Amino acid sequence: MAGTIQTLIFTPLTTKSLFFRYRNPSSPPTYSISLSRRRSLISRPIRACDVPNQKEGNGKRAKADQVSKSADGLLWARPLLSFASTNFLPLALLGGVALGLGCPSIGCLADKYSLSKFSTFGIFIVSGLTLRSADIGAAREAWPVGLLGLISILLFTPYFSKIILHLQLQPQEFVTGLALFCCMPTTLSSGVALTQLAGGNSALALAMTVISNLLGILIIPFSISKFIASGVGVSVPTKQLLKSLVLTLLVPLILGKVVRESFRGLADFVDQNRKLFSQISAVLLSLVPWMQVSRSRPLLLMVKPEVFLVAIGAGAVLHFILLAFNIMVIKSLSTLSGGGQSVFAKEENSIAFVLVASQKTLPVMVAVVEKLGGAFGESGLLVLPCVAAHLNQIILDTFLVNFWARNDNSSKKLKAS
């Protein structure tokens, strides 16, 4: 307040001083004294106001520096978060296995209360919620390719389990698990996703995925009994397994689909958040190997690392064989049915066929092992090589999709030039 009054007084005095200086040039001391006094009067309040302003500016700069440092700290995390989001399913599966090996007590407790049954039920509820009828109907034009895909998935590729059973590995469950993996239908999501990335017929891929999983529930018990049980020397209760798979897999899938169609707002919400539901399904899926590895940890620790590496390699070789077989089948039928004019010769159809028919699903495999109740050995030993095989097929097919994309871009550039 004092500083304000002095400033108000200063303005007329300055005017007066200048006028007085003009009329009385012979009296400079009066001017200099009054001016120096006014400077001293004014300088104090200015200095008093200046100090806190400087402190406030320093505080703001410090806060800005902290914000910039925190922003810089988040920059390095963005690639990691992006990688985790893109590869959520493999990371969830690896996390489940690692948690089961590192902290088995919680997994054993969850297994004791049959949490795996609820997780499997939840996986297929989510599958039913995300199932779009319009996408399946869009595959009608390519129905011959879809029919071929179903025959390959459910009838041809299970024969390769006979070859796998000739492998000599200890524990025997590693071999039996991979043989069971051959009898499964195609993957629930990754085949369709990779088909979209490769520019293939995603509607056809989705149709083959849904129908093969529905029919697979009915066919798997007979495939296991024919191709694996006789080779291992175990009898499979086919009718009981069929009933169990229908209740565990087919019923929740239909229930999820009915709920989706009953509430239009829910269908829109699911379609807008498909990535979220995919991640929920991945978490539910990772719970099963976590519990099974926890339960089988003492036996797993007895397995030599080189044996497990051989089992992983066998799973990768199996996927290469399935890819080669399906490529040969689609090329042969393309040639026999009229060449470039055939529905089998269309690139988008052949991409969908090769990717979807060459993959095998882990959730159905896990459900089958659970329902077999140890008939083929320790469930954790059966599932672990299949987890590795599931990851292998996703990784290998990702490289294949990138290879196709590069070739497609190169051909487009050649045509443009």
Tens-digit pLDDT string for the chain (417 aa): 444 334 444 444 444 443 334 444 444 444 444 444 444 444 444 444 444 455 455 555 555 556 455 555 567 777 888 888 777 777 887 888 888 888 888 888 888 887 877 887 888 888 888 877 766 666 788 889 999 999 999 999 999 998 898 888 888 889 999 999 999 999 877 788 788 778 788 788 888 988 898 888 889 888 888 888 876 656 666 777 778 778 877 888 889 989 998 987 898 899 898 888 888 888 887 887 788 778 778 877 888 888 888 988 999 999 999 999 999 999 999 888 876 678 888 888 999 999 999 999 888 888 888 887 778 888 888 888 888 888 888 888 888 887 887 777 676 666 666
Q: What Å distances lie between residue 409 and 351, 399, 414, 415, CA to CA?
A: 16, 15, 9, 10
> What does the alpha-carbon distance between residue 217 and residue 365 come to, in Å, rounded to a whole number?
11
The dihedral region occupied by 200, where left means phi > 0, alpha psi between -120 and 50, and beta the remainder, is: beta
What are the respective helix, strand and coil percentages of the chain, to the nearest 5? Answer: 85, 0, 15
> What does the alpha-carbon distance between residue 249 and residue 124 come to, in Å, rounded to a whole number?
6
Structure tokens, 376:
């083929």
232 contact partners, CB below 8 Å, separation of at least 6: 165, 172, 176, 376
HSE-CB for 164 with a 13 A CA cutoff: 34
Q: Is the peptide bond before 221 cis (omega within 30 degrees of 0)?
A: no
Structure tokens, 323:
């890819």
Structure tokens, 213:
């999983």
Which pLDDT score, from 0 to 100, does residue 136 have?
65
32 contact partners, CB below 8 Å, separation of at least 6: none
CB-CB neighbours of 412 under 10 Å: 10
Q: What's CA 89's distance to the chain center, in Å?
A: 4
> What does the alpha-carbon distance between residue 134 and residue 128 come to, in Å, rounded to a whole number?
14
123 contact partners, CB below 8 Å, separation of at least 6: 188, 252, 281, 284, 285, 363
Which pTM was predicted?
0.67
Residues in the chain: 417
236 contact partners, CB below 8 Å, separation of at least 6: 221, 224, 225, 228, 229, 372, 375
Q: What's CA 180's distance to the chain center, in Å?
A: 25
Contact indicator for 165, 232 with CB cutoff of 8 Å: yes
Which pLDDT score, from 0 to 100, does residue 135 have?
63
> What does the alpha-carbon distance between residue 277 and residue 126 come to, in Å, rounded to a whole number?
7
Which pLDDT score, from 0 to 100, does residue 158 have?
92
